[in-house]
Each structure stands twice: as structure tokens, then as C-alpha cells.
């Protein structure tokens, strides 16, 4: 059911952005490994060879080669792309939240990743990840990382 809602949301956002006279920024739904696939603490158990960087994985072969860890769900890469990054923090991570928007009129996706840190001054490294609707080959996504202190 979630898959159809996401596809419908994506289609509606594309249609709304084609109307130049009434184009607005559209929030879009994403999937996450913990809440949607039953993983536990994937921000610490997923492994990817990145250092304070982000990448987009668009196919299963790349995903299987680059991502490992305790939870490795079966992602449908015909429907989704995986935005995945790794970030070092000066404080323990409390929460990670995501906000995906389609900015009109250029149809540029913007994913904002909010990393909220606790007050515990202990270094932490987290892997953040969001399954987003498939980006066309010519499509762009901007990832904005925001560090917040709790």
C-alpha cells in the first residue's frame, strides 16, 4: 500500500510542477530501513565505505557491493533509489529525520537530513539512508545535511 501512495505522490508532484502558473514545492514520502523494513539501529549497523559524504545507489548490484551490515533488506530498485551517507559527529546521535521535497519548476529533489545530537560529548558515526522515488537518469537531487544539538 505504501508503494502505491509514494508512486501516486510522485506522479501528482510531477503533474503539479508541469503547470507553470500554479507550481509549488511538494513534500514527498520516503521509506526507511528501520520503520518500513523492520531493521534495528541501522544508523549504526549499516556499513558503507564513505567518510562524511553521501551517494545515490540506483541498482541492486551496486547496493549489494557497497552496503553491508546487520540489516540488508530487499530493495526494489525499479521503484526506488537509495540515498545513503555516513557522517562523523562530536556528540552521540539522538535522532535522524528526513524531509524530501520536489522544488518546482525545475523538478529538483531536495532531501534534508536532520542529525540531532544528544548532550553526551562522545564521538559517533552514523549512516543515514532514505529510499526515495526513482530519479530519472537526467534528474537531480540535492542533499542538505543539518546538524542540530539537543
Task: Find the mean pLDDT for residues 111-131.
Answer: 95
Per-residue confidence (pLDDT) for residue 3, from 0 to 100: 39
Domains in the chain: boundaries: 2-149
pLDDT at residue 18 tops 80:
no
Per-residue confidence (pLDDT) for residue 31, from 0 to 100: 95
Per-residue confidence (pLDDT) for residue 105, from 0 to 100: 67
pLDDT band at 137 (very low <50, low <70, confident <90, very high): low
Average pLDDT over the chain reads 84
34 SS3 class = helix
The answer to whether the predicted template modeling score (pTM) of the entire model surpasses 0.75 is yes
Tell me the pLDDT tens digit for each residue of 61-112.
999 999 999 888 999 999 999 999 999 999 999 999 999 998 776 778 899 9
Question: What is each CA distance from 23 to 26, 37, 59, 99, 118, in whole angstroms?
Answer: 9, 33, 31, 19, 38
How far apart are the C-alpha atoms of 101 and 107, rounded to whole Å? Answer: 9
How far apart are the C-alpha atoms of 46 and 39, rounded to whole Å? Answer: 10
Q: Which of 105-109, 115-119, 120-124 bottoms out in mean pLDDT, i.e. has the lowest?
A: 105-109
Amino acid at each position: 500500500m505504501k508503494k502505491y501512495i509514494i508512486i501516486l505522490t510522485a506522479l501528482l508532484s510531477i503533474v503539479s510542477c508541469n503547470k507553470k502558473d500554479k507550481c509549488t514545492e511538494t513534500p514527498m514520502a520516503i521509506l526507511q530501513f528501520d520503520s518500513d523494513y523492520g531493521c534495528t539501529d541501522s544508523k549504526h549497523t549499516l556499513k558503507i565505505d564513505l567518510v562524511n559524504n553521501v551517494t545515490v545507489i540506483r541498482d541492486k548490484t551496486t547496493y549489494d557491493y557497497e552496503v553491508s551490515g546487520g540489516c540488508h533488506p530487499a530493495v526494489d530498485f525499479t521503484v526506488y533509489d537509495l540515498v545513503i551517507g555516513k557522517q562523523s559527529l562530536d556528540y552521540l546521535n539522538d535522532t535522524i529525520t528526513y524531509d524530501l521535497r520536489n522544488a518546482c519548476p525545475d523538478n529538483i529533489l531536495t532531501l534534508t537530513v536532520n542529525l540531532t545530537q544528544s548532550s553526551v560529548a562522545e564521538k559517533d558515526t552514523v549512516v543515514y539512508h532514505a529510499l526515495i522515488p526513482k530519479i530519472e537518469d537526467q534528474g537531480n537531487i540535492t542533499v542538505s545535511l543539518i546538524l542540530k544539538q539537543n
